[in-house]
């Protein structure tokens, strides 16, 4: 098998995993929604309790077991803090907005990550990255609609926007942890346990008895979240994030399908316009990133060929001198 074929197969596997992750996260939002009249904190607790149990399994089978690497504690804390607050706000938005709108606001996380990568990762975004951020937030305005009813749409929309901010900030800290060599199951387990600890007091003080159907929905939401978390981690082992990130937006499409088929939800025209702006911006940014990568690779290959030719020329000159 040639190198090109291996790269192509790796990308194909990565795309398949990212689509599976989008499918899993969309199921999570769907089951959270149809769980019905259950407090947001209670939904968040059960979602993370299931994910924690699933994350423990690979750690029990590993030789190193559960161990946080030196120098990773602070990053894990902030990953958990922003991830948990973002998750709670996202769940609040899911219960009060069309699930496609809530999913789209959550998918603003990569654009927040661009801004936050400056202080946290010391990365300087390019000019087109800043343009992408501005366009994405213009798209978000069409979904949030500031002129909408304050209680019914604006507040859930703003909290859904914070959900994207929390997810984007958490993603930046996950990248920092990845650079330090921290293992994925450890990060997932810490996040899940932290979220359970934060939401447990609310569960104790304001527990709402659930019907078997509601409990089943929250358990399935946890499985959907676990499927999404582990699939997206696996995806980035096969191909770089810049080559896969655009496919993550299929989560919005899946969510829109579930909302239309089972909840009778049809997003308003302004929401569709917002989707088009945000997804279109992501597609263009993805395409330019791929193009830049290919250009750099081509230049590198030319330099390598030039070095090989120079070396070959030097060998021929040496042989002539010896002769």
Give the pLDDT confidence score for residue 231 in this predicted structure: 87
Q: Are 95 and 47 in contact (CB under 8 A)?
A: no
Q: How far is 233 from 174, CA to CA, in rounded Å? A: 11
Listed residue (45, 95, 87, 114) closest to 229, CA to CA: 87
Q: What percent of the chain has pLDDT over 90?
A: 48
Give the pLDDT confidence score for residue 293 in this predicted structure: 58
Q: What is the mean pLDDT of the chain?
A: 84
Report pLDDT digits (tens) over 135-162. Answer: 999 999 898 877 656 667 788 999 999 9
Structure token pair of residue 297: 């690779």
Q: How would you write 49-63 as a 3-class SS string?
A: HHHHHHHHHHHHHCC
Q: How far is 133 from 130, CA to CA, in rounded Å? A: 5
pTM of the model: 0.81
Q: Are 248 and 68 in contact (CB under 8 A)?
A: no
Report pLDDT digits (tens) over 257-274. Answer: 999 999 999 988 999 999
């Amino acid at each position: 098998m040639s190198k090109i074929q291996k790269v192509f197969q790796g990308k194909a596997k990565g795309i398949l995993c990212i689509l599976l992750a989008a499918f899993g996260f969309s199921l999570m939002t769907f089951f959270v929604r149809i769980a019905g009249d259950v407090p947001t904190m209670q939904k968040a607790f059960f979602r993370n309790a299931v994910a924690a149990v699933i994350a423990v399994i690979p750690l029990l089978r590993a030789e190193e077991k559960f161990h946080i690497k030196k120098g990773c504690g602070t990053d894990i804390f902030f990953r958990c803090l922003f991830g948990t607050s973002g998750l709670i706000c996202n769940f609040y938005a899911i219960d009060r907005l069309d699930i496609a709108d809530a999913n789209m606001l959550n998918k603003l996380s990569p654009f927040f990550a661009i801004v936050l990568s400056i202080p946290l990762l010391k990365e300087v975004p390019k000019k087109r990255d800043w343009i992408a951020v501005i366009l994405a937030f213009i798209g978000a305005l069409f979904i949030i609609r500031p002129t909408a009813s304050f209680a019914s749409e604006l507040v859930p929309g703003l909290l859904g926007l914070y959900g994207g901010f929390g997810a984007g900030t958490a993603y930046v800290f996950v990248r920092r942890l990845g650079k330090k060599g921290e293992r994925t199951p450890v990060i997932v387990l810490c996040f899940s346990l932290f979220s359970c600890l934060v939401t447990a007091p609310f569960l104790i003080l304001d527990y709402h008895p659930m019907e078997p159907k509601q409990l089943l929905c929250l358990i399935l939401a946890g499985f959907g979240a676990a499927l999404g978390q582990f699939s997206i981690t696996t995806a980035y082992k096969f191909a770089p994030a810049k080559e896969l990130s655009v496919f993550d937006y299929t989560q919005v499409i899946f969510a829109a399908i579930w909302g239309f088929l089972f909840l009778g939800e049809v997003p308003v025209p302004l929401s569709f316009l917002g989707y088009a702006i945000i997804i279109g911006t992501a597609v263009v940014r993805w395409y330019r990133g791929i193009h830049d990568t290919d250009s750099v690779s081509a230049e590198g290959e030319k330099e390598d060929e030039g070095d090989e030719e120079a070396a070959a020329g030097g060998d021929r000159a040496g042989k002539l001198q010896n002769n």
